[in-house]
Structure 1
């Protein structure tokens, strides 16, 4: 479903955004890589940029800002999950061993949000939609296609997100060897261990963008000053994938999905 016209089911990833030290450089990089259209936002929105693909919102990007008394956040993509009640969800985070990093707050009339870390340390966001529901294009070139949690304890992570977001954790119907998160019977993300990742890699949610040609995108990342963490490879039943890092350090994955 490339175009999203209605609200997201609760528990479904609905938005992604990135905080970077140099906002304009970030906008230029993703414009050249994916074709996004965006500019630095107005002051009343803290300069937040809504990036568009085909005129529809697909991601957010803003300048790194430290909360009072908090260290400067790392340059990293954040996945936001749609919920019915942000405050109730924040209480569930705390009750199930997670940590609320940025307390629930209203974003104008657009919605209510907070940022948290699960018990293993992976950071995620929560979005209670009002005027703004989330990304309006997914699963096509330059748009979000998958969210993968890397956790040292996938079973515990599955229990946490089930309790907090109401998702179901279990084998993916299409790939039973992997653990997925399901909402109303539809797989909306996955979780896997960290044994194959480099030492000292922290638990995290990895965002994947759909692309038409993985190899050419990787070449473009390198040409722009980024890094390749996992060179292009073919993944059975999924497509051709790669993991890369933008010039400011944000890690993400790209995948050219297999034709259905």
Structure 2
């Protein structure tokens, strides 16, 4: 199992779901990925944060969506967190490089320190300065996070932003059907792709990808559990991919990695 004990600057270190239906989401993702849940105090009365574990290691988080977002019809969202050594300094860099600070850095009990921002085109990203919690303890395993795609109409602007703010590198790869695609790198590793919106009207956002052992079987299971498949399974160079929504409409992707076979 690919267990993690630390993350480099700029590396994706955590994902969590903001949803109005916490109980429904916990039931859905437990059945789908084999997660178990732990309830954590947030320091606010009646407010909790839930941590999903996979084989004893933290895999993802879950929290209540703000009521104003629910009232506005905002769908549940998987949020990507990038690891940083100094989140306060990072938030200053966000503003200096054309991004927007949505939530200034604040302490999350003893777990760490969090800031929420939007890159210049509007895709929301979280920056995490680890304390007692580094982020995910397991990745690249069936049921765990493995990859992120930034959907934006301005790949060049996104590359410049993340290079300046968290020191990410940049590379390109030829992808079937997509042409030359930009990738964000941490050290020598590709950690995220930057892709254009497939159709008009799709706002900039991050797509969270989870590893599965069998993409087609998991797609069928998603439907049985009340979710939906919005992009049916198809082959890509790393394996086989599908895009889904949970029963409340939260979008995520699943990928069966060829190297696992």
Same fold (TM over 0.5): yes
Distance change >3 Å, CA 173–CA 127, structure 1 → 2 = farther
Cα shift at 1:173: 9.7
1:82 counterpart = 2:83 = yes
Equivalent residues, number: 255
Residue equivalent to 2:12:
13
1:126 counterpart = 2:127 = yes
Alignment of 1:49-128 (within 5 A): 49-66=50-67, 74-128=75-129
- In structure 1, what is the Cα distance between the partners aligned to 2:96 and 2:67? 26
- In structure 2, what is the Cα distance between the partners aligned to 1:130 and 1:39? 18
Question: Which consecutive residues of structure 1, in runs of 5 or more, have no partner in the other structure?
Answer: none
Distance change >3 Å, CA 252–CA 168, structure 1 → 2 = same
Cα shift at 1:42: 3.6
Deviations 1:35-78 (A, max 9, x none): 0001443464731000000011010001112589x978641000
Query: Contact (CA 8 Å) 2:75, 2:248: kept in 1 or not?
Result: no
1:170 counterpart = 2:167 = no
Residue equivalent to 2:206:
205
Distance change >3 Å, CA 219–CA 61, structure 1 → 2 = same
Distance change >3 Å, CA 185–CA 174, structure 1 → 2 = farther
RMSD: 2.3
Residue equivalent to 1:181:
184
Which piece of structure 1 moves more, 83-92 or 215-224?
215-224
- In structure 2, what is the Cα distance between the partners aligned to 1:123 and 1:51? 22
Query: Contact (CA 8 Å) 1:147, 1:205: kept in 2 or not?
Result: yes
Deviations 1:180-237 (A, max 9, x none): 111112211121112xx233111111110000011111111111221211000011x2
Cα shift at 1:147: 0.8
Normalized against structure 2, the TM-score is what? 0.91
Normalized against structure 1, the TM-score is what? 0.92
Question: Which consecutive residues of structure 2, in runs of 5 or more, have no partner in the other structure?
Answer: none
Query: Contact (CA 8 Å) 2:238, 2:259: kept in 1 or not?
Result: no
